[in-house]
Amino acid sequence: MEQALGVHRLHFAFTITFHYIFPQLTMGLALLLVYLKTKFLRTGDEHYNRSARFWARIFGINFAMGVVTGVPMEFQFGTNWAAFSRAAGGVIGQTLAMEGVFSFFLESSFLGIFLFGEKKLSRMGHWFSAFMVFLGSWLSGYLIVATDAWMQHPTSYTLGPRGEIQLSNFWGLLINKWALWQYAHTMLGAVQTGCFVMAGVGAFYLLTHRDEIYGRTFVKGGVLVGVVAAILQLSPTGDMQGRLITEHQPVTLAAMEGLFDTQNGAPLAILGQPDIQHRKLDNPLEIPSMLSFLTYRKWTANVRGLNSFPEDQWPDTIALLYYSYHVMVGLGTIFIAVMVVSAFLLWREKLYSSRWMLWILMLSVPLPYIANTAGWMTAELGRQPWLIYGLMRTAHGISPKVGAGNAWFTLIGFMGLYTVLAILWLFLVYREIELGPDPGANLDTETAVLIAAD
């Protein structure tokens, strides 16, 4: 059973991690598409409309990949986690069904209109279709986050006669305080992914001296939106998420920080390696009393360490949780620095000619994906050993009749299939970036060069 549990967890972790590569970009780009269409609506400059078309094509590729990888993931609730679905299906089925029936259909319907119906719509009508794509994608994100937030902080439920979990208050599920802050934090992470991708593509165009007018627009839009998102990601959303963990999951906080002993004026660990066997943090680089202040707003506040909790309540992968959390926080700090410096150079009208900063923006494109993955790992590893915090342990949620061998077989199959999808995705996105926002203009330039050479 232990072996099967590990494989089932690895299977779901792989599929959801691969899947989330795509929605985080579509949710971030959805906001930026509205930004570009709004600029077109206000100025009438066709340049912004062509920019929006370019990013809509990349949005469409990501959306299709998100659908293909998202549908099998939801089937895993029945194939790999049948006991969990049987116990909690009456609760999580509400939000998952709403995500599919309302928000997904809303997003996909208006995406079709946005991509193929521009000639049939007025300028305002086409802007409205972009806004509805944004609304659908962000509503979809909320319903998924609300599902996860209920598992982190279950509310508004009763237990049935056979131990099944029944929803007692629908609005209590939707307006869970954990969901509100987790959603804000998650969506800002998605916005940062969209901003870094847009700014990175713009930097690529400026560095290669092609489509430079679009490069400036992409860099400017990515930096202006990104600097706001990066700061809000730290505070208030990240700060409030941390305080919720302090209040409701104190053992998770201790594991995230590598804090083994309860302390008054607990330090904040910047670096270090958790030694689980000897229950200490090796080679720590700490800020004295900072953890107490951040969690309780008092420099001398008492923060409980792992040793004050029974070991069966500890997260089962403390080292991975610790490193995931610190990778997330470290990259978030880097994002603030990169965006603030970029915004300063933009204000001084030096960003477009600062090749060193453009290189940083272009090479930073993978980092938001890593940070978002590390953030979700922090949330999900921190909840362990609970599948539903305080209600159902992870070991009790798997499908009892699906053995480790079956799970390994499907996991290896998914890995092979998703490798092919990843290659296809990279090829399609590369092709769009290579064609550029105005393929006709690039073709004309190449033709002129060939004619001049002849």
Angle at 170 between CA 131 and CA 92, to 5 degrees: 80
Instruction: With a cut of 50, say whether residue 38 has pLDDT above it.
Output: yes
The verdict on residue 12 lying in a domain is no
Instruction: With a cut of 70, say whether residue 409 has pLDDT above it.
Output: yes
**Residue 327 pLDDT grade (very low, low, confident, very high; cuts 50, 70, 90):** very high
The verdict on residue 240 lying in a domain is yes
Distances (CA, A) of 404 to 8, 28, 317: 8, 37, 20
Question: What's the number of domains the chain is made of?
Answer: 1
The verdict on residue 112 lying in a domain is no
Number of residues that this document lists for the chain: 454
Each residue's pLDDT tens digit, 348-399: 999 999 999 999 999 999 999 999 999 999 999 999 999 999 999 999 999 9
The verdict on residue 95 lying in a domain is no
The verdict on residue 7 lying in a domain is no
Residue that the structure tokens 């305002």 belong to: 124
**Residue 445 pLDDT grade (very low, low, confident, very high; cuts 50, 70, 90):** very low
Each residue's pLDDT tens digit, 8-34: 999 999 999 999 999 999 999 999 999
Q: Average the pLDDT over 121-126 and give the result.
A: 92
pTM score, whole prediction: 0.93
The pLDDT mean for the chain works out to 91
**Residue 105 pLDDT grade (very low, low, confident, very high; cuts 50, 70, 90):** confident
Contact predicate 163/87, CB 8 Å: yes
The verdict on residue 232 lying in a domain is yes
Instruction: With a cut of 60, say whether residue 283 has pLDDT above it.
Output: yes
Residues of the chain above pLDDT 90, percent: 80
Instruction: With a cut of 70, say whether residue 441 has pLDDT above it.
Output: no
Residue-range definition of the domain harbouring residue 301: 185-394
The verdict on residue 384 lying in a domain is yes
**Residue 442 pLDDT grade (very low, low, confident, very high; cuts 50, 70, 90):** low
Whole-angstrom Cα distance, residue 216 to residue 400? 56
The verdict on residue 145 lying in a domain is no
In one-letter notation, the amino acid at residue 99 is E
Specify which residues 246 forms β-bridges with: none
Each residue's pLDDT tens digit, 52-97: 999 999 999 999 999 999 888 888 888 899 999 999 988 998 898 8
